[in-house]
Amino acid sequence: MTALEPKTVSLHGRSISYLEAGEGPLLLLIHGIAGTRESWRAVIERLAREHTVLAPDLPGHGTSAAGCGDYSLGAFASTLRDLVLTLGHQRATLVGHSLGGGVAMQFSYQFPELTERLVLVSSGGLGKEVSLLLRAAALPGASLFIAATAEPGRVVGSSVARGLSVVGLRPSADVAEVARGYASLADSRRRSAFLATLRSVVGTEGQRVQAADRLYLAAALPVLILWGDRDPIIPAHHGEAAHEAIPGSRLEIFEGIGHMPQLEAPARFVAALERFLAETATGPRRADRQRGRLSAVGSRRG
């Protein structure tokens, strides 16, 4: 892949780093927790052949500055809205992985007029179950443990990769990416952002934020759900349940793939996404349809 130079823009006095490539309709790629724009590195060039691809580091992640202390899905969605508009774009197809799927759903809920389509990749926010490792990180005192084990960086990252393979993560691209993200938590600011982000969506008993009661609103949009059937972080049946709850949505399960289809099977990922983009029209430009759905539900329950 041709090297892409990261760019930086200042939003509300804080820097946001991002990659941007290509021309055409906008694809906004949203990474997962402790991830960075690099989690999309295997697919950006291919997707940029016919689209503008924008892959930012969320606040407190990668080389973006830490946020103001609010690491909720809503705060992330607002930052992405501001980034999209600041860079001169009007609408986007949202492609969210893991935590990024939750952010994408929140973005589409808050800013339907800016959302063309919704693509959920191994998405959070669709059920309670989540990896024991993430639930453990929500425990009090987890910061001290993470600081002690992440400090050696890449050396510990390799050890973590081996350990993760023991508890179910295969020694492949998904393990390497998780290990890389874990090593980044040696930085105290990144660690604080990670824990604040995690605890806003995950507790010791599982995911705390779920979109199940609002999925009917997504029927106004073309929706694609992609998942690996060997995902050890978030089970694939969450995607299957969401597919049943969203009329007209599409579901693709990648056999033999873990939590990161875009890294583990990039060619198949791009093919599935490009097929979806070619075969679907963009969602409505105004929020009227969503407003109508909300009103209809309110009337039935009144």
Out of 78, 98, 123, 131, the active site residue is: 98
Q: Catalytic one among 123, 231, 238, 249? A: 231
Active site residue 98: yes
Angle of CA points 50, 91, 21, to nearest 5°: 35
61 is catalytic: no
Which two structure tokens, joined as six digits, stand for 297?
Answer: 């539900």
Please, are residues 27 and 95 in contact by the beta-carbon 8 Å criterion? yes
- Integer angstrom CA distances of residue 44 from 27, 31, 66, 83, 179: 10, 13, 25, 18, 22
CA dihedral 98, 51, 59, 131 (to 10 degrees): 10
* Burial class for 302, CB neighbours closer than 10 Å (0-12, 13-18, 19+): exposed
**70 has catalytic annotation:** no
Point out the catalytic residue in the list 51, 238, 243, 259.
Answer: 259
Pairing of strands 92-97, 115-121: parallel
Which residues are identified as catalytic?
98, 231, 259
